[in-house]
């Protein structure tokens, strides 16, 4: 068989050709026998079929990969997303073509959980309010009694979703002695029990949480799962935290809830749309902490994500099924199995 060819979407490089994320260690690919690595640029934010011909694998950062991105030569076997979100990839089209789509839960579990706890602590302590007060000098210090924070002991930390990241956030929050609740129709009750989380219905998680985190992938079922009706169930002292995907929240409804005092505030690492317009009214609110879908971005986070992608791509080269396929059913498809058999045979 010819060399195993791996494409990386062009946005892994800066405009001058230097690596955008040098902590992403490509040496295991570069040092592997019979492996070629090349950068492939998207066109108008989308990977093209013609540019991916003769490649076995694609490691994908931000471009879209849809049905029109699938090369006709039948060689591409895996699309490895750099992260855990896969809403930019047409997974169904990939499965029909016998192409696996994998993600990197191990790389983001701890970094995103840290992001959630960063928001919880900053909102509870009114960190940004107090930063602004301090910058006002004596006048700000005189107002500090009006900006009392919220103690965490006995408060309720809630989550919509208790998967990889949600479970890690609850583990990290354990020393704060909060009550832990979550809504997740797919969670095994024994798993929730093991980490001290009470499973509740969706209405209860909105009504009883003091800090409510969104930890669910974006699907048609979860789009706008946070909306005007559900926000109205929340306490006026409660905070919403979203580190998943912007469209899981109806942003117009959230803007109204933040403006009229339905809830106390929010911590948002994701928005709808991204990036927002500079005149988006949510950017003007002082009861929201905003970050550009990047609060978890650290050297360790990107190193871990990259290592997971590299490992899974090399598993394909060795004829093995990677562990983090989005649609695990693709592993049984005849096209996928035939390619793995050919790779294993060398």
Give the catalytic positions in this structure: 245, 274, 293
Beta-strand runs (E) in the chain? 4-9, 35-40, 57-60, 78-81, 100-102, 156-160, 179-183, 198-199, 211-214, 239-242, 265-268, 288-290
CA distance 321 to 247: 32
Cis bond before residue 187 (omega within 30° of 0)? no
Closest CA to 211 of 235, 183, 243, 176: 235
Question: Can you say how many angstroms the Cα of residue 81 is from the centroid of all Cα atoms in its chain?
Answer: 11
Q: Does the CA dihedral 216-218-222-228 come out positive or negative?
A: positive
CA distance 25 to 307: 7
CA distance 32 to 96: 30
Residue 73 and residue 21 in contact, taking contact as beta carbons nearer than 8 Å:
no
Beta-strand runs (E) in 190-319? 198-199, 211-214, 239-242, 265-268, 288-290
301 CB burial (10 A radius; 0-12, 13-18, 19+): buried
> In angstroms, what CA-CA distances link 94 with 76, 99, 278?
10, 5, 36
DSSP-based three-state secondary structure for 240: strand
Closest CA to 125 of 295, 265, 294, 231: 265
- Phi then psi for residue 11, to 5 deg, are -75, 0
């Amino acid at each position: 068989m010819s060399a195993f060819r791996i494409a990386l979407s062009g946005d892994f490089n800066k405009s001058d050709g230097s690596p955008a994320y040098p902590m992403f260690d490509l040496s295991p690919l570069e040092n592997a026998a019979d492996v070629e690595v090349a950068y492939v640029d998207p066109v108008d934010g989308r990977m093209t079929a013609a540019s991916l011909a003769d490649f076995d694998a694609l490691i994908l950062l931000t471009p879209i990969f849809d049905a029109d991105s699938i090369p006709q030569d039948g060689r591409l076997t895996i699309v490895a997303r750099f992260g855990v979100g896969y809403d930019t990839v047409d997974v169904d089209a990939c499965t029909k073509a016998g192409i696996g789509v994998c993600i990197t839960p191990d790389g983001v579990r701890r970094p995103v959980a840290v992001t959630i706890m960063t928001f919880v602590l900053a909102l509870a302590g009114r960190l940004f309010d107090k930063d602004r007060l301090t910058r006002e000098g004596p006048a700000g210090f005189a107002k500090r009694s009006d900006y009392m924070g919220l103690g965490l002991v006995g408060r309720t930390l809630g989550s919509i979703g208790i998967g990889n990241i949600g479970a890690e956030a609850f583990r990290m929050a354990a020393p704060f002695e909060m009550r832990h609740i979550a809504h997740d129709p797919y969670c095994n009750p024994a798993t929730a029990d093991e980490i001290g989380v009470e499973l509740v219905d969706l209405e209860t998680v909105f009504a009883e949480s003091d800090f409510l985190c969104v930890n669910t992938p974006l699907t048609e079922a979860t789009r706008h799962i946070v909306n005007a009706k559900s926000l109205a169930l929340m306490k006026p002292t409660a905070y919403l935290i979203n580190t998943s995907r912007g469209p899981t929240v109806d942003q117009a409804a959230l803007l109204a809830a933040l403006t009229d005092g339905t809830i106390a505030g929010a911590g948002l690492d994701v928005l709808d749309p991204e990036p927002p317009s500079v005149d988006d009214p949510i950017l003007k609110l002082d009861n929201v902490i905003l970050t550009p879908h990047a609060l978890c971005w650290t050297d360790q986070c990107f190193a871990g994500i990259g290592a997971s992608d590299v490992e899974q791509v090399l598993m394909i080269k060795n004829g093995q099924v990677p562990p983090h396929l989005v649609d695990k059913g693709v592993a049984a498809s005849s096209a996928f199995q035939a390619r793995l058999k050919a790779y294993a045979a060398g």
